[in-house]
Amino acid sequence: MPEERKPTVEELLAKAKEPARKAPAWHAFYRGKVGVTLKCAITDYQDFGIWYTPGVAQPCREIAESPEKVFEYTNKGNFVAVVSDGTRVLGLGDIGPEAALPVMEGKAILFKYLGGVDAFPVTIDTKDPDELIQAVKWIAPAFGGINLEDISSPKCFYVLDRLRKELEIPVWHDDQQGTASITLAGVLNALKVVGKDPKRVTYAVIGSGAANIAFVRVLLTYGVPPGNVIMVDSKGILHPGREDLEANKDKNPYKWDYAVRTNAERRTGGIKEALEGADVCVAASKPGPGTIKPEWIAGMAKDAIVFACANPIPEIWPWEAKEAGARIIGTGRSDFPNQINNSLGFPGIFRGTLDVFARTITDEMAIAAAEAIAATAEEKGLHEEYIVPTMMEWEVFINEAVAVAKKAIEQGVARRILSEDELRAQAERMIRYARQETEILMREGHIKPPPEV
């Protein structure tokens, strides 16, 4: 058989730009991506007397007397608010709450289709963290969970920490915990492919914003020695001699903590020096190309792993990293192999969290999700271009949901106790329903095919 022709760099670049080219026309065609559908039957107009007044007064009275009944009588246990102030949207930065809305709608699609979760985009017009916290607390009674999204660092840490302490429903910042979960899953499986122990390798973590601060926290919770991690921000490697970090430690204690605890070799310099001899590079920093240079990748250890996850353009193109000697490459994009993307995490994680009415999402629950993601791919056979499942492998979300719910029960943060079989049946039912609902609406012509552009 003739050898398959490899695409040229120009063809790969054109493919990478295709989603952005189509997006405006598709968004305009549907005038948004999410709406509200009914769960209850309407057999005749008399039913409204049950669903609304006067019949609805009885469940209201019972909830007033026993607040936990809200999970039984309403959809609170499957409602999630996707909350953003629009201050750090994808690779676009501070574009405001209106411009952030398409992203939050997109998040709601993924919640519903992949996890069977009813998610609502909620963009809030304030940059003040305390106002944002108060706004979330005001709307929290209607929701079973809060997904914080695209909030600038270090404000996002403060907002998350306070809301986790002050609310009795799970609060999750997907740019922190979600990124950490899928990145850990990818790292674990990539290291299996190259035959290295995750607790004995060196990690170069490029970028010290919300995503990587949380990734390192979860990595350390998993058992990786802090000294094995070398972090880099826009001014260089984090280390105790960085006077700028010490001076700013009250405003951003997270970076100063890692400057003190990580980097056992006390390296200084920048990205190049951090990558020297490193086994794993996890980058969530400035969009490329060119943020990470091929010659720096060449200085990494044998069988190096490179996750270049900046959006919309990775810090280094995958083919450049491969030519420089990296064995396994992942990005945040769906048009290259090994997509290290939050979408593999949060739908299943929230599914499991909501199914047991959990009060919070712990780091251990995030690790359980990462291990479930990794195990799902491993069962199908790992190789250099397949270290995590794709979003179309829907069993990964069921596996995550079960693992997360079991961990919530084990840690005592669940309001409802279900067996593993019950958890699996519940997750499968909810996810299957969401997919079939969409398929029926498309088949019946209520959702029309997108336009050709």
Active site residue 107: yes
Contact present, 397 and 427 (Cβ < 8 Å): yes
Q: How many CB atoms lie within 10 A of CB 392?
A: 7
Give 46's DSSP letter.
G
The span from the CA of 263 to the CA of 319, in Å, is: 29
Contact present, 371 and 213 (Cβ < 8 Å): no
Annotated active-site residue 52? The verdict is yes
Reduce the DSSP state of residue 34 to 3 states and report it.
coil
Q: Any bridge partners for residue 83, and if so which? A: 122, 148
Helix/strand/coil for 3: coil
Q: How far apart are alpha carbons 212 and 177 in whole angstroms?
A: 10
Sign for the pseudo-dihedral over CA of 379, 380, 386, 392: negative
* Two structure tokens written together for 259: 């400057």
Q: How far is CA 126 from the centre of its chain?
A: 23
Please say whether the beta carbons of 286 and 315 come within 8 A.
Answer: yes
* Token pair 């609902």: residue: 437
Give yes or no for a contact between 401 and 418, defined as CB atoms under 8 angstroms apart.
no
Beta-sheet strands, E only, within 163-256: 171-173, 203-206, 229-233, 236-237
Find out whether 261 and 233 touch, Cβ atoms under 8 Å: no
Catalytic-role residue among 76, 107, 293, 406: 107
- Catalytic pick among 17, 22, 30, 52: 52
The whole-angstrom separation of Cα 7 and Cα 13 is 10
The DSSP 8-state label assigned to residue 94 in this structure reads: S
- Contact call for residues 84 and 97 (beta carbons, < 8 A): yes
If one counts every other C-beta atom within 10 angstroms of the C-beta of residue 65, the result is: 8
DSSP 347-371: HHHHHHHHHTT-S---HHHHHHHHH
Residue 130: name the closest of 83, 154, 163, 99 by CA: 163
3-state secondary structure of 10: helix
Contact 310, 288 (CB under 8 A): yes
> Which residues are catalytic, by number?
52, 107
